Structure 1
């Protein structure tokens, strides 16, 4: 699956908020939002005008896409899948994205950022219900157990991540067993448990045109 490989700090600046794409750097004064909270490019200052209608809908979609690291075609498939399910489409969309394996790895604290979690999954460092899964977009279900492979328990990047994010907290839909280096999907995530400051209804309106 294709992925964005360009500079990521400019993505945060374009959305005007921290997307936490650089791990621990995002929590320091070196963060681009802390240093230059302006859209990138030579006309960045001129882009501060208030957006309405389509522009606002587009920005909400871009925030979610960039936060979870998916590109347009994949994001549209997530939306179509959410639209087919019962319930509120916008909330279902966020739930599908939240249940990605790479996001769960990040939420459990085995990685400092979602891009790093994606790489760790691709390299086969994690098991789901005892079987190796190297697909970052793998959809977790209630009751699934995500565990670090025994051969990866001394991986420096993972050990550093675990130490770095100790105080970040685990969402309620997940439980962490630090001693066993594993986590369990306790329940499907609710909108209240997804701490993402976006208006998902605007995304639904954008795709419904």
Structure 2
């Protein structure tokens, strides 16, 4: 499936806030957003007044970029959330959080969601003892996510796990760090998603 392969830092600058797309680098003085906190391009430093449509569009684009999802797939997630029970915006975020690449990131097996996607694609991840190579696979309560035995010595995985305390593991997941194993305790709830997201703006964007 197609995916964005350009500079990650440009996405943060375009959205006007850190999206933490480069892992630990985002916490250092090397962060491009800290150095140039304005949109990329020759007109990036111009002041422009955002319209109501523009505000909603930027919020939608921001969430897409955080989770590494392209427009067509994002629309499908929204349609699924809208068709289900409960609050549409919260249901949308829950679907995105349940993606296997995102869960690998949340458990600390990967430093970024992009790294989580690569782990899954390269068959380093088991779900309930079976290899799953689809990053968009949606986990369910009681699912067990494990790093394959042969992959546990990989430097990127070990380094990512060392930094998991800084990010923390959400309450709907549990981690056995020594066993390279995580478990889905429950469905993700809005309070456990600490990202600076205004999901109602996304609902309004698609409902216009």
TM-score by length of 1: 0.97
Deviation readout 1:102-123 (Å, 9 max, x if unpaired)? 0000011111111111001100
Alignment partner, residue 121 of structure 1: 120
Counterpart Cα distance in 1 of 2:162 and 2:192: 23
Count, aligned residues:
208
Which sits farther off after the overlay, 102-111 or 49-58? 49-58
1:24 and 2:27 matched: no
TM-fit CA distance, 1:50: 3.8
The offset of 1:199, in angstroms, is 1.0
Query: Contact 2:161–2:177 at 8 Å: present in 1 too?
Result: no
Which is worse superposed, 21-30 or 155-164? 155-164
SS of the residue corresponding to residue 178 of structure 2 reads coil
Q: Counterparts of 1:166 and 1:82 in 2: how far apart (Å)? A: 31
Task: Compute the displacement of 1:186 (Å).
Answer: 0.6
Task: Return the alpha-carbon distance in structure 2 between the equivalents of residues 2 and 103 of structure 1.
Answer: 17
Match of 2:40 in 1: 40
Measured on the aligned residues, the alpha-carbon RMSD in Å equals 1.0
Cα separation, 2, equivalents of 1:189 and 1:32: 31
How far residue 162 of structure 1 moved from its aligned partner, in angstroms, is: 1.3
Q: Show the counterpart of 1:177.
A: 176
Give the equivalent residue in structure 1 for 2:4: 4
- Shifted more, 154-163 versus 107-116: the winner is 154-163
**1:167 deviation in Å?**
2.8
In structure 2, the gaps of 5 or more residues are: none
Q: Return the alpha-carbon distance in structure 1 between the equivalents of residues 152 and 30 of structure 2.
A: 30
Report the counterpart of residue 76 of structure 2 in structure 1. 77
Partner of 2:88: 89
